[in-house]
């Protein structure tokens, strides 16, 4: 057993006086990575303190995960033991960071020396203590540092004897402080106990406008399903509205067994085309293309033409099969059987999907299944596709996604995975932590000012924002909410502007959205009448009443407004009318400031007084400022925080103001 004296000796031999805690950002004690995009700066804060009154130093250490050498960035004391530093993530992939802190013996001495000199005390003896510190650092140093420290020690000794005031100035040199810190006793450094991960994605992961489309509906005749070549003729239409991502519903062969008819009928007609999510047939499965759509080369040609127009094509990943999928015949062990020997089809009561078989991720053959499913993503990545919308990820094991995403992004760090998980909040957040780049949200069902304010404050102003990137969709092929059903064109316009300005990333399911398709299959349902999931639809994209012009205008505003390229500066401003909502976003340097006011009532004109939080826009209490409506080009001069607005939804349900300070 160690004696008390031995314990003291051991403690002194590893004496680390600095404590590091309260590190942010940090997700679940470093279990999961924070998310950033190429070129971002990661701002890190921590509480760094020690016993006594000595001065401290702290450094932020960072490196690419696969490298061994650390880079350093200084941390500065910002308030009461709280320190801050930052570093840039310049490449795709993974980084790690941690913090180092130590007692700055030389800096403490130099500061104390200056205080004594200012008080008129004799500092000749105190100056010699500095000489000793420099000599100790010299003995540890090598090369040029050793020579500089030797010179500094002798110079300080000379000044202490002859000119103490000059000695004080000499001791305060920042270069000398850095030199001593660089050659300190590293055994007394405190290093934060964790190395914290960062996933670095392409800029499109943070900002982009998505447009969802069924390829087979790119046609002028419902009896002739569209092809990839037909889709190519619609690219100019999508690009002209300013979208960045064209997301295609599943492009694979569709099964015949238990095929659904129009409006989800269980008795399809001979010419019914079935649901694209009932994947697989005699022509192949998840790595095959429906022969009516064209060939792989046709798809690649569509991608090339899209890129020429500034669009990226996103594909759908749906891990499920039709009864006719080759997997069902070749790997029956990957599916769950019912007691009667039939394969269990998918259900989400009261909904039944007789045409879809889910995989059994817990079968005895799960390892082979997991590898095969990963190979699907890898196959399409090898074909040049990097953006994927993932269907129902919350119905597959968390461990599966963590493994798959980590493996895929190791070889394809630019892959973007959008999680279509309309499920419980904790499940959505867990999927984001596990690696999904973006996620669908509950935006479609948040319709009041209070609901929107609470929800978006949670996503943008709490630690959730470090790992959860929202992608806002006012409609999908599965979601036609009551607000859109009953609000008509003004409701579609309002929800579009909300999605496009509340979120840096958003999407619409079109052309159903811009043509404000709002007929449910029955009262109380969110399913569309004549749903495109089960039939080919012919859309009149030249309809003069389309929302196309509004969409084009707003997307142009988004691209020209740095403030709208992120989510973290979102702030809400009080309005005395609950039918109105007001919020702002600013660029990092405040050179671009956007203030949005939306009328949430699609039927009636609404007015009210907006209480602009001036500090959020760096405006003075009595300062005049111009608000320029980017939708109408109207300009108004506002004074102070309280200002009047009035919006008629039959004309335009919103203002998108750019704020210009005056004076």
DSSP percent split of the chain into helix, strand, coil, nearest 5: 35, 25, 40
Cis peptide before 291 (omega within 30 of 0): no
Helix and strand element counts for the chain (H, E): 15, 29
3-state class (DSSP) for residue 626:
strand
DSSP state, residue 538 = -
Q: Check whether residue 522 and residue 601 sit in a common domain.
A: no
Q: Check whether residue 450 and residue 584 sit in a common domain.
A: no
Say how many C-beta atoms besides its own lie within 10 A of residue 362's C-beta.
9
Q: What is the DSSP string of 23-46?
A: EES-BTTTTB-EEEETT-EEEEEE
Q: Check whether residue 500 and residue 448 sit in a common domain.
A: yes
Q: Check whether residue 481 and residue 625 sit in a common domain.
A: no
* 437, 471 Cβ separation under 8 angstroms: no
As a whole number, mean pLDDT of residues 404-419 equals 98
Q: Check whether residue 427 and residue 454 sit in a common domain.
A: yes
589 phi and psi, to 5 degrees?
-100, 10
Q: Check whether residue 317 and residue 180 sit in a common domain.
A: no
What is the spatial distance between Cα 48 and Cα 18, in angstroms, rounded to a whole number? 7
Final residue in a domain of this structure, among 518, 539, 565: 565
As a whole number, mean pLDDT of residues 235-261 equals 98
Q: Specify the DSSP element, H or E, that contains 47.
A: strand 41-49
What is the spatial distance between Cα 506 and Cα 511, in angstroms, rounded to a whole number? 15
Q: Check whether residue 251 and residue 351 sit in a common domain.
A: yes
What is the spatial distance between Cα 504 and Cα 438, in angstroms, rounded to a whole number? 11
Final residue in a domain of this structure, among 565, 589, 606: 565
Q: Check whether residue 83 and residue 177 sit in a common domain.
A: yes
6 against 470, higher pLDDT: 470
Task: Provide the domain limits for residue 468.
Answer: 208-565
Q: Check whether residue 419 and residue 351 sit in a common domain.
A: yes
15 against 202, higher pLDDT: 202
Q: Check whether residue 504 and residue 412 sit in a common domain.
A: yes
Final residue in a domain of this structure, among 140, 170, 200: 200
Q: Give this prediction's pTM.
A: 0.95
Residue labelled with tokens 């900002």: 207
For position 7, what pLDDT does the model report?
46
What CATH number does residue 232 fall under?
A: 3.20.20.80
pLDDT by residue (tens digit) across 514-559?
999 999 999 999 999 999 999 999 999 999 999 999 999 999 999 9
What is the percent of the chain with per-residue pLDDT over 70, rounded to a whole number?
98
pLDDT by residue (tens digit) across 29-88?
999 999 999 999 999 999 999 999 999 999 999 999 999 999 999 999 999 999 999 999
What is the spatial distance between Cα 176 and Cα 183, in angstroms, rounded to a whole number? 11
3-state class (DSSP) for residue 563:
helix
For the chain, how many residues are written? 663
Q: Check whether residue 187 and residue 304 sit in a common domain.
A: no
- Judged on CB neighbours under 10 Å (0-12, 13-18, 19+), 181 is middle
Q: Identify the CA nearest to 255 among candidates 354, 173, 162, 174.
A: 354
For position 3, what pLDDT does the model report?
63
Buried b (16+ CB within 10 A) or exposed e, 87-111: bebeebbbbbbbbbbbbbbbbbbbb
What CATH number does residue 189 fall under?
A: 2.60.40.10
pLDDT by residue (tens digit) across 332-379?
999 999 999 899 999 888 888 999 999 999 999 999 999 999 999 999
What CATH number does residue 645 fall under?
A: 2.60.40.1180
Q: Check whether residue 174 and residue 48 sit in a common domain.
A: yes
- What torsion do the CA atoms of 379, 385, 390, 396 make, to the nearest 10 degrees? 30
As a whole number, mean pLDDT of residues 2-7 equals 58
Q: Which positions are catalytic?
A: 391, 420
User: Structural domain tally of the chain?
Assistant: 3
């Amino acid at each position: 057993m160690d004696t008390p004296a031995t314990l003291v000796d051991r403690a002194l031999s590893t004496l680390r006086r600095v404590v590091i805690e309260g590190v942010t950002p940090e997700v679940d004690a470093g279990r999961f990575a924070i998310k950033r995009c190429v070129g971002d700066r990661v701002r890190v804060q921590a509480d760094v303190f020690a016993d006594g009154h000595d001065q401290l130093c702290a450094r932020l250490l960072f490196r690419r995960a696969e490298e061994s050498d650390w880079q350093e960035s200084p941390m500065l004391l910002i308030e009461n033991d709280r320190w801050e530093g930052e570093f840039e993530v310049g490449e795709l992939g993974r980084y790690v960071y941690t913090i180092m802190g130590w007692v700055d013996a030389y800096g403490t001495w130099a500061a104390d020396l200056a205080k004594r000199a200012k008080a008129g005390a004799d500092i000749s003896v105190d100056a010699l203590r500095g000489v000793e510190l420099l000599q100790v650092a010299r003995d540890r140093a090598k090369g040029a540092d050793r020579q500089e420290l030797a010179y500094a020690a002798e110079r300080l000794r000379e000044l202490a004897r002859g000119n103490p005031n000059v000695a004080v100035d000499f001791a305060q040199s920042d270069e000398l402080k850095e030199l001593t810190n660089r050659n300190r006793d590293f055994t007394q450094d405190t290093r934060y106990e964790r190395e914290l991960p960062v996933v670095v994605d392409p800029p499109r992961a943070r900002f982009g406008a998505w447009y969802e489309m069924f390829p087979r509906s790119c046609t002028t005749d419902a009896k002739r399903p569209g092809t990839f070549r037909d889709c190519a003729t619609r690219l100019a239409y999508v690009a002209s509205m300013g979208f960045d991502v064209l997301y295609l519903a599943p492009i694979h062969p569709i099964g015949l067994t238990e095929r659904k008819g129009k409006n989800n009928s269980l008795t399809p007609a001979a010419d019914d085309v079935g649901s694209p999510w009932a994947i697989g047939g005699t022509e192949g499965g998840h790595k095959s293309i429906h022969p009516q759509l064209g060939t792989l080369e046709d798809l690649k040609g569509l991608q090339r033409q899209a890129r020429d127009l500034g669009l990226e094509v996103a594909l759908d990943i749906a891990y499920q099969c039709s009864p006719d999928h080759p997997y069902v015949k070749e790997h029956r062990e990957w599916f769950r059987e019912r007691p009667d020997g039939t394969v269990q089809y998918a259900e989400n009561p009261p909904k039944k999907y007789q045409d879809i078989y889910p995989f059994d991720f817990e079968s005895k053959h799960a390892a082979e299944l997991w590898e095969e499913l990963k190979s699907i993503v890898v196959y399409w990545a090898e074909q040049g596709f990097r953006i994927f919308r993932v269907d129902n990820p919350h119905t597959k094991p968390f461990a599966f996604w963590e493994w798959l995403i980590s493996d895929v992004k190791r070889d394809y760090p630019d892959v973007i995975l959008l999680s279509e998980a309309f499920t419980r909040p904790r499940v959505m957040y867990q999927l984001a932590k596990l690696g999904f780049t973006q996620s669908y949200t509950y935006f479609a069902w948040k319709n009041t000012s209070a609901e929107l304010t609470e929800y978006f404050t949670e996503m943008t102003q709490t630690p959730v924002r470090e790992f959860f990137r929202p992608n806002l969709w006012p409609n999908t092929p599965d979601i036609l909410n009551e607000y859109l059903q009953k609000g008509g064109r003004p409701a579609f316009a309002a929800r579009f502007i909300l999605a496009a300005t509340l979120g840096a990333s958003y999407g619409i399911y079109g052309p159903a959205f811009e043509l404000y398709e709002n007929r449910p299959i029955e009262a109380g349902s969110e399913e569309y009448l004549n749903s495109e999931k089960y039939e080919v639809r012919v859309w009149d994209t030249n309809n003069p009443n389309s929302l196309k012009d509004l969409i084009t205008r707003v997307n142009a505003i988004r691209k020209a407004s740095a403030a709208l390229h992120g989510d973290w500066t979102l702030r809400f401003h009080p309005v005395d009318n609950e039918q109105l909502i007001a919020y702002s976003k600013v660029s990092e340097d405040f050179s671009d400031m956007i203030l949005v006011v939306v009328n949430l009532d699609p039927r009636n004109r609404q007015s009210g007084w907006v209480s602009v939080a001036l500090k959020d826009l760096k405006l003075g209490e009595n300062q005049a400022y111009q608000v320029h409506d980017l939708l109408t080009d109207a300009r108004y001069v506002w004074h102070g925080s309280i200002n009047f607005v009035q919006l008629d939804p039959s004309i335009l349900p919103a203002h998108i103001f750019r704020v210009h300070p005056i004076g």
